[in-house]
Structure 1
Amino acid sequence: MTLHPAEAVRLLDEELASVRGPGPARTEEVWHAFLRFADRPFTVPDAPEADGLLVQYGTYAFDGPRAFTLDLVRQFETCDGDGDHAHYDQVHCELRFAPTPELEALGAFDAWCFRDSGDDLAACTGALTSRPSWAVIRALTPTAVRTYRERV
């Protein structure tokens, strides 16, 4: 069954709820919940880069104190009535951490994966989790996890 992108935040929240116990989930647990969400089929236009994944991290102060942020994003293209590109909807799973020297030393990073353009999800995620930075991030427990949808 394919799903509509409007359902994406709810479905991501359901996946995240499955890894929450009495305490906050570790990054590795949130990552696996996000991968289950990333593997779900959604209705998107039949076009390259209509359904993509973005992983990005860095230390920022966007809307409060500085924090190391790991942002796991699924992006869906939306077309208008004529079939032309209208906008993208991005569903974010944002993990925030206290900015330690070890995390700040990781710098900033971003990587995209588009299965509808021929990228292999397992290869993309394997390339990410084999990075030395992932060994630092994966065992940490975020201070906050936030999900939201953004039109870009």
Structure 2
Amino acid sequence: MGEAVGLLEGELTAGRRVLADLDTEDAWLAYLRFGRRLFDVPDTPDADGLLFQYGTYSFDGPATFTLELTRQFEIVDSHGDHDYYVQVHCELQYALTPVLQALGSFEWWFFRDAGDDLDEWAQGLSERAAWATIRALKPAQVRVYQERV
């Protein structure tokens, strides 16, 4: 898991020179490739999850519409008990427009151990009406980072 952020960046920049060249569809497909990679995670419920979420936020300045593609890994202590999570983020920010603001906010998790199929999860997201709006856009900013939560 220590290499996860580098692996995501590699998927995002495959065939490109910089993250700034990404469009939303390319970022989504790279995220799904990253999501298919298997990692050595604990044998606990929800130890490896993917999150798709969007909304209008103003964390570090003016409000922007943000699409957040996150992978979360559970870290356990030496006794096998939950210690913390590591989240690897691909954050796509867009200029706020009335159309994007009208989308509101949304989140949907996928957990590998829940018996769900990753391709079905992705298909369900791509069939949402909001995706037709978001996927056609080029983000103003792309950030890839990892954090402990």
- State the one-letter code of the partner of 2:147: E
Task: Indicate yes or no: 2:29 matched with 1:15.
Answer: no
How many angstroms apart in 2 are the aligned matches of 1:19 and 1:130?
27
TM-score normalised by structure 1 residue count: 0.94
1:15 corresponds to which letter in structure 2?
E
AA of the residue aligned to 2:105: A
| Distance of 1:95 and 1:104 partners within structure 2 | 15
1:19 Cα offset (Å): 4.8
Contact 1:59–1:108 under 8 Å retained in 2 = yes
Task: Show structure 2 runs of 5+ residues with no match.
Answer: none
Alignment-derived partner of residue 74 in structure 1:
71
Q: Residues 19 and 33 of structure 1 are in contact (CA less than 8 Å); yes or no, is this contact kept in structure 2? A: no
Report the Cα offset of residue 21 of structure 1: 5.6
Residues paired across the two proteins, number: 148
Give 1:51's match in structure 2, choosing from 24, 48, 53: 48
Q: Tell me which moved more, 70-79 or 10-19.
A: 10-19
Distance in 2 (alpha carbons) for counterparts of 1:74 and 1:146: 14
Listed as ranges, the gaps of 5+ residues in structure 1 are: none
Counterpart Cα distance in 2 of 1:47 and 1:72: 22
Question: Take 2:70 and 2:133, find their aligned partners in 1: how far apart are those partners?
Answer: 20
What is the aligned counterpart of 2:104 among 107, 118, 125? 107
- Give secondary structure in 2 for the equivalent of 1:48: coil
Alignment of 1:17-32 (within 5 A): 17-20=13-16, 24-32=21-29
Find the residue that maps to 1:110 and give its secondary structure. Answer: strand
Query: Aligned equivalents of 1:13 and 1:26: distance in 2?
Result: 14
Instruction: Work out the percentage of aligned pairs sharing the same amino acid.
Output: 57
Equivalent residue number for residue 96 of structure 1: 93
| CA displacement 1:7-66 (0-9 Å, x = unmatched) | 110000111111536862110011001111110011100111100001110011001211
Instruction: Name the counterpart of 2:144.
Output: 147
SS at match of 1:6: coil
Alignment of 1:118-137 (within 5 A): 118-137=115-134
